[in-house]
Chain A
Amino acid sequence: MSRERALLIIMIVAVCTLITRLIPFVLFGGKRKVPLAVSYLGQILPPAIMATLVVYCLKGANLFSASHGIPEFASAAVTALLHIWKRNVLLSIAAGTLCYMFLVQSVF
């Protein structure tokens, strides 16, 4: 692929990505008052989106593969339980990640 074309492709991806991020601000930004329905959604959506992102991250775990998704779900459980217990973000993330790295590198 020519370098000009590569540059064009990157530009298109950049612009389209920006468009998706701009949409709510173009629709509801400016000086206008934000519609109630939107501020309501803005307020209650984060937990729902976070749930979606967790599912998105764990979607790669294949229950029918050799590892049966054990590294993913075990490490997610370590992270969650430790966080419920200690409430320390960095501790939970470090423990969960180390657990995952150990499992995928040495066990499965």
Chain B
Amino acid sequence: MKQTIRFAFYKTIPVLLGYLFLGLAFGLLLQEAGYSFWWALLASGIVYAGSIQFVLVDFLSGGAGVVTVAVMTLLINSRHAFYGLSFVEKFRKMKTYPYMIFSLTDETYSLLCSLKTPAGMEEKQAMFLIAFFDQIYWVLGSVLGAALGQVLPFDMTGIDFAMTALFITIFIDQWREAKSHIPAVTGLCSSVICLLIFGGSNFILPSLVITVGILTALKGHLGEETQVPVAKETPEEKEDKI
């Protein structure tokens, strides 16, 4: 258990940096909008999704209608619906199933789908701890931000780049392991093209829909994984052609 905790902590250090800082930023904004750290605790505890929480601050300071709030949340977070596809089978074997679904953020998803536990370690336990630690960082950051306000000891501008860097390293690792680079290239092209067409705040959903469409159409060409029961457990069996 101790070893698993250490492993999970080590894996989540990049997220610790990113979440603490982004959480701080969220807490600060919330405090400026007139809400104490209890509200930050509540929002980060039950919503737990970075980008929508920043929009939430706008909702709370303006007078957004209930329907607008619901529709915007569904749209902004629609990408999450794609993350679960990789874990449908894996999560349901876990006792912490509901929490795992609730806590599947961009960063936790990235860590979990690139996770390789050392031999002898309980993988499910490591997965849960990673998800749980990530949320602790986020809650901690947002509560601190709302409680401390502007009194931060040093200039941390730019530390949120840790998140971008984390995605880049995972992308490179996955690129190395994949036998076919078609999924990665498809995702890259589709998102750049959609970014140019739809703009920064709207491109993710169309991009993911197009990517799924193309990859589904290419199914026969990317090799068959008919015998592989659980995604990501056997990356070496991926795409044996091309």
Contact = CB atoms under 8 A, between A and B. Distances in A.
Nearest to B231: A42
Contact of B82 (A30, A34, A49): A49
B164 to A, nearest CB: 4
Interface residues of B, number: 100
A92 to B, nearest CB: 5
A44 B238 contact: yes
A55 B174 contact: no
Contacts of B232: 42-43, 46
A30 B170 CA distance: 30
A43 B183 CA distance: 10
B204 A56 contact: yes
B63 to A, nearest CB: 7
Interface string A45-66: 1111111111111111000000
A10 to B, nearest CB: 6
B113 interface: yes
Q: 10 smallest A-B Cβ distances: which pairs?
A: A48-B187, A24-B84, A51-B187, A16-B73, A57-B164, A42-B231, A101-B158, A100-B161, A47-B184, A96-B165
Contacts of A44: 180, 183, 215, 222, 238-239
B157 A105 contact: yes
Interface residues of A, number: 67
9 contacts: A43-B231, A48-B215, A50-B171, A51-B171, A54-B167, A72-B161, A79-B169, A100-B161, A101-B156
B219 to A, nearest CB: 6
B211 A43 contact: no
B7 interface: no
B20 to A, nearest CB: 12
Nearest to A78: B165
Contacts of B166: 89, 93
